[in-house]
Structure formats: structure tokens, C-alpha cells
């Protein structure tokens, strides 16, 4: 019944829905916007927090051997020297002098020809460093330069000893962090897919070198299962890319790619980073970051397995696979079919999980009481304006999995009608069992 929207327009439709319904807007829009920066509106931040909470619960709260961290965005500049970002985190770019297009050299089919206008009038390749620079303190000189973090994992390595000592964790164990990262991307594009300010969810797992590949396989499977079981991704919309060309220190790397409207794109990386990160920070800081294993008297530099995903990309990936257009359930026979835009979001991350809709204004008071009861357990909305059909449409468009209609019989039979978003099936449910019913369906 429902036709998947596959066309080129899908991204435009998603961007338009996000703006119209308050999921995501361009940052500073009244000043013309700023390229590569996006604001999450009321529904957007509800959904973003729900995804973040799902990840945190899965990666930290349900595991004894993963600790959390919330580090600063600005670190000592030597952190980025040690990590290699200051020397290597750059793209080689050329500009077309005729049409002013800019290209990454490594992505050009022909590095001597502008792929936009065909001109050969190109600049020499130039390095563009992706680190965002700022100054700490009142003097804006080289002594006071600092950088906004380009990835959330570096402070995890820097704080490795502090976390280990404070928590008395023994290897193997991990440290996880969710937070903002900043990159001066040359060419931000594809909506939030490549932004200049974005949120990462990263976990660094520390183990003995001999067990590195075992843990790499373990985390790869865990992360794939997360997308399949918690976010409903199927083999149609995700795939695994195995890196053949590895960084010199890495032992293995895969990307979990998903289908975005513009094609397949990287969502998450699971990387075996060897001993590189801790060794570099030991060398640059002078602090010994080796681990002493009391059980067998061995001292060694831990090996790191990383899982790293962008929250904004996860958000966009979920929207991409959830956007559908089909036919509304409220069309009267003989009338033209009404188009329905529906986001088939997983109930765990939907910005609104339950909408309470009184059938008539006369029922507002009793229905509002039900709304306040449910709102303590689910993300709820109370909507009284417009026909019931219009209200269903509004909830479908923001992905609300359950609409509850409080009608004139509700007073006498102590029951409400629950309408399920995807099937549009309606069911009469007694108020005494409503909460259990919803908890069961939403999947707590
Ligand atoms: N610590 C490893 C690391 O940062 P990465 O592949 O550069 O690796 C990890 O980034 C994840 O962060 C990516 O898979 C992607 O989901 C997200 N990400 C990276 N750059 C991004 C950008 N410019 N905009 C949005 N998300 C981005």
C-alpha cells in the first residue's frame, strides 16, 4: 500500500518536513543562515535526546565495564599535536578560477579539469586544516591559540588514567562520551550529514593486544545488533564496508553504512586502533599511560577498539528510512484519495509517542486529565484543534506511533480508541490497562 519515496526529491521532502514541523532549521536563519550549522527545534531535540539516551543506555548504563565521561570541548592544544590533527587533519583542495568551485583533490576524476565548468584554470592544490581555531584568554596571538575538539575520543585517551584509577576498573573496560565536535569542513553538504558542528557518540574499549581482534569482532556485532534490534534497520538499508587501506597503526576497520537519500553513506566506524593513541599521549605528555596487570605482573600499553557514530547522522538515517507517503485512512468513499505523509519512526525515538485527542471540545477536561497521567510515562501531546482526521495527519507527519481518541462513550465504558500509525488500525482499550498496553507496544 505504502510506496517508498525513492526519488531524488526525498532529501528535499525531508528538509521541508523538518523545517515545517520544527525538527531542524538552518542556524541563524534570519541572518541568512550559516553554512554547515543546524538548530534542532522542539520535536527535533526531543528525538535527538531520545536517540542519545538509547545509545547511552545501550553502551553505558547496561554494562558494568563501560564508564561515562563528559569532557571539555577545548583541550590543551598539545592534545591535537599528539593526535596528529594539527599536522595531518587536512584536505588538499583546488579552486576553479573561472567558476569559483572548490574540490577535494582526492575526489576529483581529473585533477586538472573543473568538473563543474570544464575549465583548466585551476589553482595549485592547497592544504586546508579542518580544526576550528580559537583563542583562550584576552590576547589573540599564537601563544593563546586553542582548538575546538574535532572528535570526542581524544579527551577519553587523555583522561584514561584518571578514569581507571577513580573507578578501579581492570582491563578490559571502556570509556564512552557523547558531545559536540567541530570540523571546518570545506564543503558541508547533504543537510546534516556533513556539518561543521555535530554531535558524536564514541566509545573507546581498552584491552590487551592479544585480545584486540576478539573485542573488535564483539563490538562490530554489538553495534550492528543495535541498529537492527533497537532502531529497526534491515539488510535493505544498512551494509558493512570493510576497509582495505588502513591507517598505519590500525589492525582492522569497518564502517556501518546506511542508505541516505543521496546514496550510501558512513554512519558509524568500528576501528581497531592498536596502541597508537595512548602511546602518542604518553609520549607528548610525559605521563605513563601503560597498564599494570596485577594478576600476572605484566605492564603494557592497552590496545583500543573504537565505536564512533554521529548523532546527527543517526537522526538523518532514521528519518531517511522512515519517510513514507501513502493514502490516508479518513478518505470518504467516492472522494479523491488523500495523500498521507507518515514518518514510521521507531516508537522508542519518536518525538511524541502518544497523542491524546478529545473528539469534541466538551470532552477536553476529561481527556486532558488522561494526557497528564500518560505524560508522566511517555512523550505525549494534547491536541484539540481541527477535525480528528487533520489531527491524525499532523501526528502521522511527526511520526507519533499512537493516537488516543477520547470520545463520548469513554465516560461510560471507561475506554478509549487507540489508533496505530502504520496500519491505521483502531482498537478499543480499557483505561485501566492503557498504560500497560502502550508500554508493551512502545517497547520499554
Ligand atoms: N574518532 C574517530 C572519528 O571521529 P570519523 O569517521 O571522522 O572518526 C566518526 O567520525 C563519525 O562522526 C562518522 O562516522 C560520522 O557519523 C560522524 N561525523 C564525522 N564528520 C561529520 C560531519 N562533518 N558532520 C556530521 N557527522 C560527522
| Residue 2 confidence (pLDDT) | 43
Whether 143 and 275 share a structural domain:
yes
Number of compact structural domains in the chain = 2
In this predicted structure, the answer to whether residue 99 has a pLDDT above a threshold of 90 is no
Atom 16 (ligand 1) nearest CA: 310
- Ligand 1 touching residue 266 (CB < 6 A): yes
Q: What is the pLDDT of residues 365-401, one digit of tens each?
A: 999 999 999 999 999 999 999 999 999 999 999 999 9
Q: Which range marks the domain in which residue 365 is found?
A: 352-442
Distance CA 168, CA 191 (A): 43
Average pLDDT over residues 277-289: 97
Q: Which atom of ligand 1 is nearest to the CA of 271?
A: 2
Index of the ligand 1 atom closest to the CA of residue 269: 14
Q: Strand 173-182 and strand 66-69: pairing?
A: parallel
Cell numbers placing 213: 581482534
pLDDT in tens, 136-179: 999 999 999 999 999 999 999 999 999 999 999 999 999 999 99
SS3 43: helix
Q: What separation in Å is there between the alpha carbon of 204 and the centre of ligand 1?
A: 15
**Residue-level pLDDT at 116:** 86
Tell which atom from ligand 1 comes closest to the C-alpha of 152. 1
Ligand 1: does its nearest atom lie under 6 Å from the Cβ of 182? Answer: no
One domain for residues 357 and 301: no
**What does the buried/exposed string (b/e) look like for 247-269 if buried means 16 or more CB atoms within 10 Å of the residue's CB?**
eeebbbbbbbbbbbbeeebbbbb
**What's the pLDDT score for residue 191?**
96
pLDDT at 4 over 70: no
Tell which of 271, 302, 319 closes a domain.
319
For residues 386 and 271, membership in a common domain is answered with no
Contact 368 CB / ligand 1 (< 6 Å): no
The interaxial angle of helices 311-322 and 42-56, nearest 10 deg, is 110
Starting at the edge strand that comes first in sequence, how are the strands of the sheet with 126-129 ordered? 102-104, 90-95, 126-129
pTM exceeds 0.75, yes or no: yes
Q: Tell me if 99 is assigned to some domain.
A: no
pLDDT score of 335? 61
Query: Over the stretch 241-250, which tens digit does the pLDDT of each residue have?
Result: 999 999 888 9
215 part of a folded domain = yes
Burial category of 124 from C-beta neighbours within 10 Å (exposed 0-12, middle 13-18, buried 19 and up): exposed
pLDDT band of residue 327 (cuts 50, 70, 90) is confident
202 within ligand 1 shell (Cβ under 6 A):
yes
- Does ligand 1 have an atom closer than 6 angstroms to the CB of 149? no
pLDDT tens by residue, 10-44:
999 999 999 999 999 999 999 999 999 999 999 99
CATH number at residue 61: 3.30.930.10
Residues 436 and 377 in one domain: yes
The alpha carbon of 357 is separated from its chain's Cα centroid by a whole number of angstroms, namely: 31
Answer yes or no: do 377 and 315 share one domain. no
What is the spatial distance between Cα 269 and Cα 1, in angstroms, rounded to a whole number? 35
Q: Are residues 310 and 358 in the same domain?
A: no
Inside any domain, residue 113: no
Q: 354-358 and 380-382 as β-strands: parallel, antiparallel, unpaired?
A: parallel
* Rounded distance from Cα 310 to ligand 1 centre (Å): 6
> Which pLDDT score, from 0 to 100, does residue 333 have?
52
Closest residue to atom 27 of ligand 1, CA basis: 310
Residue 3 has pLDDT above 90, yes or no: no
Domain co-membership, 295 together with 410: no
Closest CA to 377 of 444, 430, 432: 444
Residue with cell 486532558: 368
Model confidence at 8: pLDDT above 70: no
- Segment 122-135 shows an average pLDDT of 89
Same domain, 312 and 380: no
In a domain, 329, yes or no: no
Please tell me the residue having the least CA distance from ligand 1 atom 17. 310
Whether residue 214 lies inside any domain: the answer is yes
CATH value at residue 364: 3.40.50.800
pLDDT of 1 > 70? The answer is: no
pLDDT, residue 334, reads 53
**Distance between CA atoms of 13 and 7, rounded to whole angstroms?**
10
Give the single-character DSSP code of 190: T
Among 272, 310, 311, say which to mutate for ligand 1: greatest number of ligand atoms within 8 Å of CB.
310
Task: Let me know if residue 312 belongs to a domain.
Answer: yes
Of the candidates 201, 78, 86, the residue with the CA atom closest to the CA atom of residue 151: 201
**143, part of any domain:** yes
**Same domain for 408 and 312?**
no
- If you average pLDDT over residues 427-436, what whole number do you get? 97
pLDDT tier at 98, thresholds 50, 70, 90 = confident
For residue 172, say if its preceding peptide bond is cis, omega within 30 degrees of 0.
yes
User: Of 114 and 60, which is predicted with more confidence?
Assistant: 60
- Residue range 167-193, pLDDT digits in tens: 999 999 999 999 999 999 988 989 999
Q: Report the percent of the chain where pLDDT is more than 70.
A: 96
Q: Is the CB of 308 under 6 A from ligand 1?
A: yes
Instruction: Give 294 Cα–ligand 1 centroid separation in angstroms.
Output: 37
Query: How does the average pLDDT of the chain come out, rounded?
Result: 93
Q: Is the pLDDT of residue 63 over 60?
A: yes
Atom 26, ligand 1: which residue's CA is nearest?
310
Amino acid at each position: 500500500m505504502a510506496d517508498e519515496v525513492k526519488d531524488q526529491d526525498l532529501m528535499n521532502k525531508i528538509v521541508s518536513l523538518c523545517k515545517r514541523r520544527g525538527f531542524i532549521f538552518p542556524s541563524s536563519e534570519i541572518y541568512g543562515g550559516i553554512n554547515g550549522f543546524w538548530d534542532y527545534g522542539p520535536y527535533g531535540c526531543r528525538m535527538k535526546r531520545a536517540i542519545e539516551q538509547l545509545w547511552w543506555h545501550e553502551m553505558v548504563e547496561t554494562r558494568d565495564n563501560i564508564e561515562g565521561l563528559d569532557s571539555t570541548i577545548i583541550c590543551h592544544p598539545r592534545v591535537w599535536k599528539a593526535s596528529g590533527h594539527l599536522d595531518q587533519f587536512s584536505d588538499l583542495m583546488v579552486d576553479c578560477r573561472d567558476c569559483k568551485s572548490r574540490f577535494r583533490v582526492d575526489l576529483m576524476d581529473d585533477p586538472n579539469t573543473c568538473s563543474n565548468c570544464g575549465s583548466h584554470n585551476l589553482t595549485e592544490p592547497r592544504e586546508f586544516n579542518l580544526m576550528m581555531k580559537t583563542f583562550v584568554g584576552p590576547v589573540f596571538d599564537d601563544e593563546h591559540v586553542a582548538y575546538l575538539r574535532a572528535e570526542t575520543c581524544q579527551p577519553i585517551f587523555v583522561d584514561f588514567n584518571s578514569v581507571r584509577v577513580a573507578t578501579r576498573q581492570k582491563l578490559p573496560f571502556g570509556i564512552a562520551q557523547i558531545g559536540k565536535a567541530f570540523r571546518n569542513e570545506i564543503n558541508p553538504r547533504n543537510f546534516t550529514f556533513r556539518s561543521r558542528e555535530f554531535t558524536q557518540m564514541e566509545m573507546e574499549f581498552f584491552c590487551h593486544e592479544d585480545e584486540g581482534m576478539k573485542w573488535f569482532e564483539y563490538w562490530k556485532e554489538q553495534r550492528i545488533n543495535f541498529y537492527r534490534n533497537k532502531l529497526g534497520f534491515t539488510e535493505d538499508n544498512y551494509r558493512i564496508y570493510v576497509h582495505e587501506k588502513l591507517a598505519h597503526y590500525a589492525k582492522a576497520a569497518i564502517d556501518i553504512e546506511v542508505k541516505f537519500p543521496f546514496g550510501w553513506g558512513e554512519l558509524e566506524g568500528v576501528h581497531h586502533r592498536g596502541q597508537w593513541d595512548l602511546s602518542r599521549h604518553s609520549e607528548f605528555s610525559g605521563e605513563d599511560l601503560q597498564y599494570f596487570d596485577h594478576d600476572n605482573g605484566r605492564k603494557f600499553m592497552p590496545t583500543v577498539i573504537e565505536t564512533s557514530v554521529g548523532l546527527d547522522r543517526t537522526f538523518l538515517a532514521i528519518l531517511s528510512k522512515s519517510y513514507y507517503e501513502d493514502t490516508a485512512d479518513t478518505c470518504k468513499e467516492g472522494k479523491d484519495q488523500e495523500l498521507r505523509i507518515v514518518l514510521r519512526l521507531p516508537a522508542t525515538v519518536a518525538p511524541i509517542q502518544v497523542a491524546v485527542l478529545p473528539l469534541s471540545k466538551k470532552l477536553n477536561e476529561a481527556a486532558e486529565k488522561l494526557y497528564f497521567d500518560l505524560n508522566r510515562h511517555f512523550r505525549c501531546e494534547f491536541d484539540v484543534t481541527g477535525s480528528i482526521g487533520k489531527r491524525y495527519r499532523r501526528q502521522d507527519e511527526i511520526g507519533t506511533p499512537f493516537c488516543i481518541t477520547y470520545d463520548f462513550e469513554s465516560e461510560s465504558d471507561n475506554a478509549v480508541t487507540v489508533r496505530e500509525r502504520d496500519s491505521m488500525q483502531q482498537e478499543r482499550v480499557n483505561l485501566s490497562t492503557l498504560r500497560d498496553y502502550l508500554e508493551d507496544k512502545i517497547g520499554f
